[in-house]
């Protein structure tokens, strides 16, 4: 009798403890990138000056879990790049040529998140793979996540990339291009 009572109590204790240790996690929510509100701004330097412009974000999805970005990917529309300084259409045509992005062959770039490490409330380090002109390069940057929930996400990041890593070898004074990503998803 005593043995049966101990067995029954042990089982009840295990069931009780497991109910407290089980995590009440929601499954990740997938949000679609809102192309009209998302973009990638760029600044490229030249001898004694610089040029500015932007790319639209064509599509993408991000995953949010418990109020934090956990993954995703997005497509950047290289073929519709805009130059926002006085160089305008002339420079845009040159950037679309084989000297730079070769948009006739490679009209899109992609970024796929491989890891997100939160370093503070709303700040994280994002790791991922950026593919431009068929070359995939690991790119890591710090981001500010302004809001993240099952209703939507808004994040921003400012960093630079080495254009030569993607085969963009046009002779110029600087290899790095400054990028600012503004990503909105619902």
| Ranges of the chain whose pLDDT falls below 70 | 1-26
Where do the domains of the chain lie? 25-185
Dist. CA 169–CA 180, nearest whole Å: 22
pLDDT of residue 113: 98
- Secondary structure in 3-state letters for the chain: CHHHHHHHHHHHHHHHHHHHHCCCCCCCEEEEECHHHCEEEEEEEECCEEEEEEEEEEEEEEEEECCEEEEEEEEEEEEEEEECCCCHHHHHHHHHCCCCCCCCCCCEEEEEEEEEEEEECCEEEEEEEEEECCEEEEEEEEEEEEEEECCEEEEEEEEEEEHHHHCCCCCCCCCEEEEEEEEEEC
pLDDT of residue 84: 96
pLDDT of residue 123: 98
pLDDT of residue 47: 83
Q: What is the pTM of this model?
A: 0.84
- The structural architecture, per CATH, of the domain 25-185 is Beta Barrel (2.40)
Q: What is the pLDDT of residues 119-159, one digit of tens each?
A: 999 999 999 999 999 999 999 999 999 999 999 999 999 99
């Amino acid at each position: 009798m005593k043995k049966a009572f101990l067995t029954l109590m042990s089982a009840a204790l295990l069931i009780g403890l497991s109910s407290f240790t089980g995590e009440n996690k929601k499954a990740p929510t997938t949000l679609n990138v809102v192309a009209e509100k998302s973009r990638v701004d760029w600044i490229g330097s030249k001898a004694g000056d610089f040029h500015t412009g932007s790319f639209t974000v064509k599509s993408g999805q991000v995953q949010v879990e418990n109020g934090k970005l956990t993954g995703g990917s997005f497509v950047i529309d290289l073929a519709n790049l805009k130059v926002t300084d006085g160089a305008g259409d002339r420079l845009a045509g040159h950037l679309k040529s084989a000297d730079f992005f070769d948009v006739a062959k490679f009209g899109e770039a992609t970024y796929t998140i491989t890891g997100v490490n939160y370093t503070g409330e709303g700040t994280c380090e994002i790791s991922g793979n950026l593919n431009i002109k068929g070359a995939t390069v690991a790119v890591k940057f710090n981001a500010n996540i302004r809001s993240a929930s099952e209703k939507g996400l808004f994040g921003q990041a400012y960093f630079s990339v080495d254009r030569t890593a993607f085969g963009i070898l046009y002779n110029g004074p600087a290899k790095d291009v400054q990028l600012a990503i503004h990503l909105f998803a619902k």
